[in-house]
Every structure is written in C-alpha cells, then in structure tokens.
Chain A
Amino acid sequence: DADVTQTPRNRITKTGKRIMLECSQTKGHDRMYWYRQDPGLGLQLIYYSFDVKDINKGEISDGYSVSRQAQAKFSLSLESAIPNQTALYFCATSDSVDSTDTQYFGPGTRLTVL
C-alpha cells in the first residue's frame, strides 16, 4: 500500500462549490504539505503543517484552508471553487528528524473547476 494517499484522485466541480481534498500517510512523519502544480510553474506551496497544532500559510494560500485532523491526516478545502483553481494538487510529508526535509509525495488529485 502507498505511504501517502490522496482522495479523490480526480474531481470535476462547478464554480462556487465547496471542495475538500484529503491526504493520509502511514509514514509516521510529523510534517505535511499541500502543493499545487500548474504547467510551467512547478510546485507552489499552499499550506504546511509541522505538527497537529502548527499550521502555516504558504505562498499561495488565498482561497484555500486546511485542517490537520491528526498527525496522519491533512485536508485541503476550497470554500468556493473558481476556475483558476483548476490544477493538480499534491500532498507531501517529511520527518523533522531528517534535517534535509526530504519530501514524500502522494499521487496527486486532478481538480477541474468549470
């Protein structure tokens, strides 16, 4: 089984709808991240969490919110989806014991907002 899982893998929704993307990990890592990937832009950090009570905004947090329900679970919400949030979304984890911040990624969620 995969160490980092994301659900759903694909989602099509309409403008104005609330959407939640979920991420679970079995790696026992304390740090979790949400990124979005757009062609030609690489990965942009949306939010990151260094433990359950430590949540921080990344470079493109506007229009997004997160919840760290447990060490193993980190969900991303789009309160009112808009078309320019159409992208590939990745969850990642890392271990604070590893000083290099090597990250481990889920398979991604492809979100389309019509």
Chain B
Amino acid sequence: AQSVTQLGSHVSVSEGALVLLRCNYSSSVPPYLFWYVQYPNQGLQLLLKYTTGATLVKGINGFEAEFKKSETSFHLTKPSAHMSDAAEYFCAVSPRGFKTIFGAGTRLFVKA
C-alpha cells in the first residue's frame, strides 16, 4: 500500500530564512513523487515532480526537492523564503502513475 506523511501541519519561517517541508512516503513500487502548492482561494498547482533520473528536482519559484530512496523521503526546500510563498503545500505519491495519493498538507507561514 502507498502512503504519504507530511511532518508538521504548520511551519512558520521568517522572510529570508530557509524553508524546509518534510515528506516521507511508502510505496510497494518505485513511485513518482510530487509537490503541489495551494494559494488562498485557488486549486492545487504542480510545484515539481520526481520521475526518474536525477534525484534533485528543481521546481518553480526557487523550490527544489531531493528524492532519497534510502530514507523514503522527498523533502521540499527553498533557500530564502518570500512573503508570496505563504500557502499550503501537499506532497503526493503516484505508484507508477496510478491513483495519486496526497499527504495531509503543510501550511507555510512567512513572517516579515
């Protein structure tokens, strides 16, 4: 069975500080991994995804994530937070493209 765990329902950082959102997954087959972002009053949009190949994946707005198979993790980072990064972030796993499963989400707050 596949599952996704996001550590921390809320994360607060200061503007300019490192953003780290944690995601661990379980999958019986090599998975595809995603981060989606949801801005207020909007639907989810793709931030980045890992399929195969290079384990460090770069996404939009300066975000990146690293697939670590040994740790079954896919943590999302950004070196310097901006006020516009305040949103809810969802990690998701798709076992070879079938029935994507979403984590519970992490709400990111950015303090001025």
Chain B: number of interface residues, binned into ranges: 20 to 34
Asked if A84 lies at the interface with its beta carbon under 8 angstroms from chain B, I say no
Asked if B18 lies at the interface with its beta carbon under 8 angstroms from chain A, I say no
By a CB distance below 8 angstroms, the chain A residues around B90 are 42-43
B100 and A107 contacting across the interface, CB-CB below 8 Å: no
Q: From residue A46, how far is it (CB to closest CB) to chain B in Å?
A: 13
User: Which residues B10-53 have CB closer than 8 A to chain A?
Assistant: 32, 34, 36, 41-46, 49, 51
Determine the residue in chain A with the shortest Cβ distance to B50.
A100
B94 and A105 contacting across the interface, CB-CB below 8 Å: no
By a CB distance below 8 angstroms, the chain B residues around A45 are 99
Asked if B104 lies at the interface with its beta carbon under 8 angstroms from chain A, I say yes
B105 and A99 contacting across the interface, CB-CB below 8 Å: no
Which residue of B32, B49, B98, B100 has the most chain A CB atoms within 10 A of its CB atom?
B100
B43 and A90 contacting across the interface, CB-CB below 8 Å: yes
A100 and B43 contacting across the interface, CB-CB below 8 Å: no
By a CB distance below 8 angstroms, the chain A residues around B43 are 4, 90, 92, 105-108
By a CB distance below 8 angstroms, the chain B residues around A108 are 41-43
Asked if B59 lies at the interface with its beta carbon under 8 angstroms from chain A, I say no
By a CB distance below 8 angstroms, the chain A residues around B9 are 40
Bound complex: CA A104 to CA B49 (Å)? 13
User: Which residues A74-111 have CB closer than 8 A to chain B?
Assistant: 90, 92, 98-108
Measured CB to CB, the residues of A under 8 A from B are 4, 35, 40-43, 45, 48, 90, 92, 98-108
